[in-house]
Amino acid sequence: MLSLFLNRAGSDNKHSRHTKAEYIMSDQDFTRTFSVTQTPEEVFAAINNVRGWWSEEIEGNTDKQGDVFAYHYRDIHRCTIKLIELVPARKVVWHVLDNYFSFTQDKTVEWTNTKIRFDISRKGDKTEVRFTHEGLVPENECYEACSEGWSTYVSSLQSLIAKGKGTPNVGEPMTDTERALS
């Protein structure tokens, strides 16, 4: 069941159901899980090295609670993210402060006020990483493109952790959707 609380007050936009949304984790949120042999401390460090796995064009700091950073990919996607929770070797949580997609009907709603979580846990002799984008759900217009993108970048994170080198975006299309939109 989708757990989505909405504030519809003061808007007659047909897309207003999203305008002031607060998302609570549900079983429909985009989630990817993987395991590596590295320690939780190594995993935590890699997650906070956002330029090493997501994009080399991140602007701002990404490793201390309260840090605010910006991501952009051409004129297709840009967002501002605040690091709101850091529990060393256990958890990283980001809050998307604002977002823009050139390819959705309502350019600024999807992702805004969502959370991106990295939960780290030890499972036997492996470390499990659970990536969840709370609020990125199948009914979002961007879901197909965003889930493809996150799958690519979560795989890059796994590579950064396991092999010491990720495949972050360097300004060129990385997914089929990015190639189609570029």
Kindly state the helix (H) or strand (E) to which residue 110 belongs, with its residue range. Answer: none
Q: What is the pLDDT of residue 22?
A: 46
What backbone phi and psi angles, to 5 degrees, belong to 157? -60, -45
User: In this structure, is residue 110 part of a structural domain?
Assistant: yes
Q: What is the pLDDT of residue 25?
A: 53
In a domain, 49, yes or no: yes
Task: Print the domain residue range for 25.
Answer: 20-170
Domain presence at residue 51: yes
- Amino acid 3: pLDDT: 32
Handedness of CA 157, 163, 169, 172 (dihedral sign): negative
Q: With respect to residue 6, please indicate whether it lies within any of the assigned structural domains.
A: no
**CA–centroid distance for 34 within its chain:** 16
Task: For the chain, list residues with pLDDT below 50.
Answer: 1-23
Q: What's the structural domain count of the chain? A: 1
pLDDT tens for residues 33-53? 999 999 999 999 999 999 999
CATH code of the domain covering residue 143: 3.30.530.20
Tell me, what's the pLDDT at 26? Answer: 63
Looking at the domain assignment, is residue 62 inside a domain? yes
Helices (H) and strands (E) in the chain, counts: 3, 8
Note the pTM of the prediction, 2 decimals: 0.85
Using alpha carbons, select from 155, 153, 111 the residue that is nearest to residue 134: 111
